[in-house]
Structure formats: structure tokens, C-alpha cells
Amino acid sequence: MFRHLSDTRRLWHAARVLARNDALFPKEYEALLPGWARLARRLLGSGRAKNEIAPPGVRLAHALESLGPAYIKLGQVLATRADIVGDEVAIALAQLQDRLPPFPMEQSRSVITHSLGRPVETVFSTLSEPIAAASIAQVHDGMTADDPPVRVAVKVLRPGIAAEFGKDLSAFASAARLAERFIPEAKRLRPIAMVDTLAVSVAIELDLRMEAAGASELEERTRNDPDFRVPHIDWSRTSEQVLTSEWIEGTPLRDRDALIAAGHDPKRIASLIVRNFLTQALRDGFFHADMHPGNLFVDSEGRLVAVDFGIMGRLDASMRRFMAETLAGFLARDYQRIAQIHYDVNFVPAHHPVETFAQALRAIGEPIFGRSAKDVSMARLLQQLFDTTHRFEMQAQPQLMLLQKTMVVVEGVARALDPDFDIWEASRPVVEKWMIERMGPEGRLRDAADGMSALGRAAQNLPQLIKNAEIISAMLADGGLRLHPESAMLIAEAQVERTRHVRIALWLSAGALGVLALAAMF
């Protein structure tokens, strides 16, 4: 009960803040709103925002930033769901700046001492004041206590952040459950799954060892890439609340003039960003999913250097093939092939004719040809593709949503460096290389070898499977299956817990129904 009241209070506060920023029921859509929504808009004080001139997406981004860390992360997830918030709002949310005031130096030193189990002085000979602060952590410039000392970047988790996130995530989950229960369209949009995705993402970000592992894996995968570099992790000075990595000397990507002054060609850097992102996604199925300008630098050798690995994306083999063939299909204007790959991965139900779906894809692709490069957005085209697939009953694919959100950011960064940047021509070599390597003879042989390996692993397990089957058959012949007493106890406890959750869910639903009934009376 107390959890429910806390969730309600937090959601009410968030609604008021969103309304004050005219981001809950934006004035641009007032004529389309039902009567109850227009009344709620007035009661909550919408339309008196200081940034009224800004577009709805920008106002929403400002409101989420003011609500704190969990809402910033929610905005980043919503940026991957243009099917919910719309294309323009998704693009605005993709630019969310995760910046907060730093916490005191004393607290930072205390976290380091407690987390590493050693006094700060024995770990770092020097530690600067915070040089950057975000919702989850802040970063210090430091020197190790080694001989000779090594310059490092020290990331420290914000004190109390886990508890704060837990409260807001609980409120999000309550709102998602009510939405799916009482709003029919919400079932297709899957807000519960979206909150679950957010919770998993936050859990990973709140353990800096996971971020360090992500950086380490990306470093390993890109070690031989000539134009991309990842800072090396200092594992001896890394823990759940502290991450220490190699210090990066480079020019920040957000300063185009500084890049030019340092002798770097913005057009070349723009191409590097897109090609490295696609290479990571297609070749490795593991990519940096937060490639905004604040996380990207160019070193003295002209290499692109990435930092902050709290949000990483993964694509399994089928999703990589889907992505590559989709892009290759648009490059070749082969809409029948694009349609077929959707059916091959069971994205579109078979009762929709593939020819009709191909026709819908042609309506997306043809308008982009013959237009100048600066007018053609790959991110927008992918979003139009996802919007079309929803009309053909395709459910949201979390892997692809994160990929598309990252594409929005990457494309924006590239266009800021080079307004005439042709993202299609930059992408073509990466896509074509992947197609040759994976779809050509060598790739098919490699796939066959992978299949034989999987068959071999299954064969290794066959004796145990046969033995298990014999045991089960004997138990059935001897009067039925018997569970170990500890297993039976665990199952009983799980059933009690599940029943308790069902009772709570029913109570909350009954309360929600009562509220809805009262609202209907008035």
C-alpha cells in the first residue's frame, strides 16, 4: 500500500512538471485531444511554459531533464520508440543531455575508499575536482600511485543513486501496468516491456564493472581497426562504484572549429563516425549506443576515440542479417528483397501478402532517390520503415529500436560536422563488405561450420539426455515423478510469492477501476 501511494505521489509530481513545460498535453495537439484531456491540461496548468516557443519534443526533453536521472534515462528509451512519441519527438529526445551538478569531492573520495577497500592516497597520487557530472556518475582527472604514475580518468558512482532510481522505476512500472490494462493500444506498444528494458539498462549502468566489461569487449573487438580506439580499463582500480580507465588526449567532436584548428577534416571524421558505428553493429553485433558528441574525441593520429560505455547495443546474427539486407535493399531499390527478409525473420505475419508489403516499402524508398544527400536521412527512413511495419502488425524489436536511436544520434553528429554529408555513400562500403563476407561462398561455409559446431554440442549432450529420459521413464513406471524435498519447498515458496503478487495486482486493478468509475460519474 505504501509503495502504491509513493508511486502515485511521484507520478503526480511528474505530471505537474510535464504540464508546466506544456509537454504532457502539448498545445499543438489540443484540437485533437478528447474533452477530459483538454480539461486535465487546464487543471494542471499547461501552456504557461517558459520555453513555449520550442517544439513539443524539446519541451519534453527539458521537462525530463528537470525531473532527474530516472526521467533522463526514460527519455533515452523513449527516443528509441518513435512509434509511441512520434518521429520529431524521438529525434529531440535522442539529443537529451545527461548533465547534473557534481557532488562534493569528499563524497567522491569516500566512495572510492569504501568501494576499493583502500585509502584514496594509496590508489591515486592526485585526484582533481569533477570535470564532468551526469545522472549516474561523475569523472575526475587523476594520476595513479604507481612509479611512474599514469594519468587516468576516474568515474565515481553518485551516492544514493540506486535507491532513487528504484523509487522512480517502481512508479514507471505502476503506470505501465495500468496503461496496458486500461488502454487497448498500449498492449501493442508494450510499455511494461519498455520499463523492463529501462530497468535492465539502469541495473547495468549502476554497476560500473559492467560498463568496464563493455569497454573491454569493444576494445578487444576493435583492436585492429585503424581509425577507432577505446580507452584501456585499469581493472585493479575498478569496482562496482569506481571505474578507472586510460586518460584520453583528444579534440572533442562537439567543437568543430577546434577540430579544424587541430588539422582534422570534418568531412573525414563524419564518415568515420558512421562507418565505425555500422561496422560494430554489422560485423560484431556489439556497438556503442550512446555516440553523442560529448562521448567522442579525435586523437592526434586522427583516430575516433569513444568514452562512456554505459549503454551498449547488441544484435544477434539474424538481426545483423536483417539490418544489412534492409540497407542493401534500399541502396539497390530492391523492395521485394527487403520485404522478403522481414518475412524470413517472422517480423510480418504470413497472412499479409509479401507483394503488398513490398509495395508499401516502395512508397518509402522511391521518394528519397534523386534528392540531395543533405535531404535524405537514413535514420528517418528506418523510422518510416518501422512505422510501416506496425501497420502490418510487426511488434517492436528492442534490438532494432536501440540501433535506430543510435543511428539518429550518429547521423546528427555527422551532419553537424558536414551539412552536406551523404550517409548512404558513407554506409555503402560497410554494407557491401558485410554482404560479400557473409552472403558469399566463404560466409556460407562459415555458417555451415557454425551449424556443425552446434550439432556437435548437441551430440555431446545426447548421452545425458538419454540418461535423463531413462530415469524419468523408471520413475513413471514406479508410481510417478518425485521431487527432491528442497525442490518441492522452493516450488511451494515460489507459488506463495506468485499468489501474493497476483493479489496485489488485483487490489491495484480494483483501485484503478474505482478511480475510473468515479471519473466517469463526473
C-alpha distances in angstroms, 492 versus 150, 480, 487, 488, 506? Answer: 55, 19, 9, 6, 21
Q: Which helix (H) or strand (E) holds 157?
A: strand 151-157
Residue 512 C-beta-side C-alpha neighbours within 13 Å? 18
**How many Å apart are CA 204 and CA 312, to the nearest integer?**
10
For helices 335-344 and 317-332, the axis angle rounded to 10 degrees is: 170
Q: What are the Cα distances from residue 121, in Å, to 116, 140, 341, 505?
A: 12, 14, 58, 51
Concatenated DSSP letters for 205-267?
HTSHHHHHHHHHHHHHHTTT-TTEE-PPB-GGG--SSEEEEEPP--EETT-HHHHHHTT--HH
Three-state secondary structure call for residue 282: helix
Which SS3 state, helix, strand or coil, does residue 144 take? strand
CB atoms within 10 A of CB 313: 22
Contact 103, 156 (CB under 8 A): no
Q: Which residues are catalytic?
A: 290
CB contact at 8 A, 215 and 245? yes
For residue 522, give the amino acid letter: F
DSSP-assigned states of every residue in 97-123: ----PPPPHHHHHHHHHHHHTS-HHHH
